[in-house]
Amino acid sequence: MTILALETSCDETSAAVVRDGRILSSVVSSQVKLHAEYGGVVPELAAREHLKNLLPVARAALSEAGVQPGQLDAVAATQGPGLPTALLVGFKAAQAVAFALRKPFVGIHHHEAHLYSPWIVSEWSTEHRLGSTTESIATCRDGARRSGLVADFSAFQPNVSLIVSGGHTLLVVVESELNHRVLGSTVDDAAGECFDKTGKLMGLAYPAGPEIDRLAEQGNPKAFDFPRPLLHDASDDFSFSGLKTSVRYFLRDHPKLLDDAQRVRDLCASIQAAIVEVLVTKTIRAAKRNQVRCVTASGGVTCNRALRCELENACQREGFKLRLAEEELCTDNAAMIGILAERKLLHKVPATDLDSEIQPGWVLT
């Protein structure tokens, strides 16, 4: 089955072609630089950029995959949640393509796509094949080269999944494929938002998460003691706005600290340690309580090296199998949308109506 997928829920315009679980092409045009000037995503600008970039991005995805529109078996797009005007661009374009080709259309929940993205893995081979984006960014590991990304649902096992992005922080138990239940979510700011907002207080550019990750590498995570909100709370919910506020007061009381590069690194490491400890502790606790043997993580914040490392340590200690989404699939991309759409069609989930609407506030349950 060959599927064209589009993703325009926030500030990445992305198109991908997937076939039989394999990602043939994955093209992402990021608007990060455009929004950095405003310190956050400006919805109207995001929508205009999607309108400008969607066709070239979709054309590039088809051409890199070597696929003609007539060879497509289905078209998929993110239906929600996301910025309404941004979602409309990819969703309505995908419906129009499906209508023109007389093929099924699949509207996908963005977080559900993140949820299953850790099952997409790199394939390694000794021979080097060229031809698609995923292949051309192949890197060496033990002399082998990556020949592509492929969904590996044969290895599926029940798991507890952490989805951490700029907009959401969710803990989900996945009992079987396409059968999941949300255990908890953030009651205020998301983990990525906490990185971005505390970084902004330090004068870092948006989005600050990757820069805090980089600065924290040479900082002391024990230098400053920030609160670990809801760490010992019985629920699986998260809260990060209190941590952000305590960083605000800390900077108010230590105005000179930002002039000292090493203290800034210590501050980044200490904030990161607080966020990571809460995420890891609550994920492991939920996995134990739900009696699964596997933990997965996805979403933009899963790029964070301390989070990846601490999840690995904790899972090793507790005997859990850990599956982290590949870094290029952590941030928003259409490949995960296409892979989930294909799984849905294979599981005989009905296609989405061509006159259905976007769902900007769609909540994963």
The least distance separating Zn ion from the CB of residue 33, rounded to whole angstroms, comes to: 19
Residues binding Zn ion: number (CB under 5 A): 2
Residue type, 136: S
CA-based radius of gyration for the chain:
20
Is the Cβ–Cβ distance between 303 and 213 less than 8 Å? Answer: yes
Q: Which is nearer to ligand KG4, 17 or 329 (CB)?
A: 329
Name the residue number minimizing CB distance to ligand KG4. 300
Q: From Zn ion, ligand KG4, none, which one binds at residue 275 (CB under 5 to 8 Å depending on kind)?
A: none
Among 196, 326, 332, 342, binds Zn ion (CB under 5 A): 332
Crossing angle of helices 305-318/209-216, nearest 10°?
A: 70
Which region, judged by CB under 5 A, interacts with Zn ion, from 39-47, 186-194, 279-287, 330-338? 330-338
Interface map 140-179 toward Zn ion (x if CB under 5 A): -------------------------x--------------
Is the Cβ–Cβ distance between 27 and 15 less than 8 Å? Answer: yes
- Give the bridge partners for 124, in sequence order: 146
Q: How far apart are CA 111 and CA 17, in angstroms?
A: 19
Q: DSSP letter string over 210-254?
A: HHHHHHHTTS-TTSS----TTTT-SSS-B--HHHHHHHHHHHHH-
Q: How far apart are CA 136 and CA 233, in angstroms?
A: 46
The least distance separating ligand KG4 from the CB of residue 168, rounded to whole angstroms, comes to: 7
Q: Which is nearer to ligand KG4, 95 or 298 (CB)?
A: 298
How far CA 282 is from CA of 161, 213, 252, 291, 363, in Å, comes to: 11, 21, 30, 14, 21
The least distance separating ligand KG4 from the CB of residue 165, rounded to whole angstroms, comes to: 3
The least distance separating ligand KG4 from the CB of residue 111, rounded to whole angstroms, comes to: 9
Write down the residue that tokens 């023109």 correspond to. 100
Which region, judged by CB under 5 A, interacts with Zn ion, from 71-79, 259-267, 277-285, 328-336? 328-336
The least distance separating ligand KG4 from the CB of residue 196, rounded to whole angstroms, comes to: 5
How are beta strands 294-298 and 321-324 bridged, if at all?
parallel
Residue 75, both tokens: 């078209």
The least distance separating ligand KG4 from the CB of residue 67, rounded to whole angstroms, comes to: 26
How are beta strands 2-7 and 74-80 bridged, if at all?
parallel
The least distance separating ligand KG4 from the CB of residue 189, rounded to whole angstroms, comes to: 10
Q: From Zn ion, ligand KG4, none, which one binds at residue 207 (CB under 5 to 8 Å depending on kind)?
A: ligand KG4
Give the total residue count for the chain.
365
Q: Which is nearer to ligand KG4, 118 or 300 (CB)?
A: 300
Q: Which residues would be at the binding site for ligand KG4 (CB under 6 A)?
A: 10, 165-167, 192, 195-196, 207, 209-210, 213, 299-301, 303-304, 331-332
The C-alpha angle 27, 31, 33, rounded to 5 degrees, equals 130
- Binding region for Zn ion (CB under 5 A): 165, 332
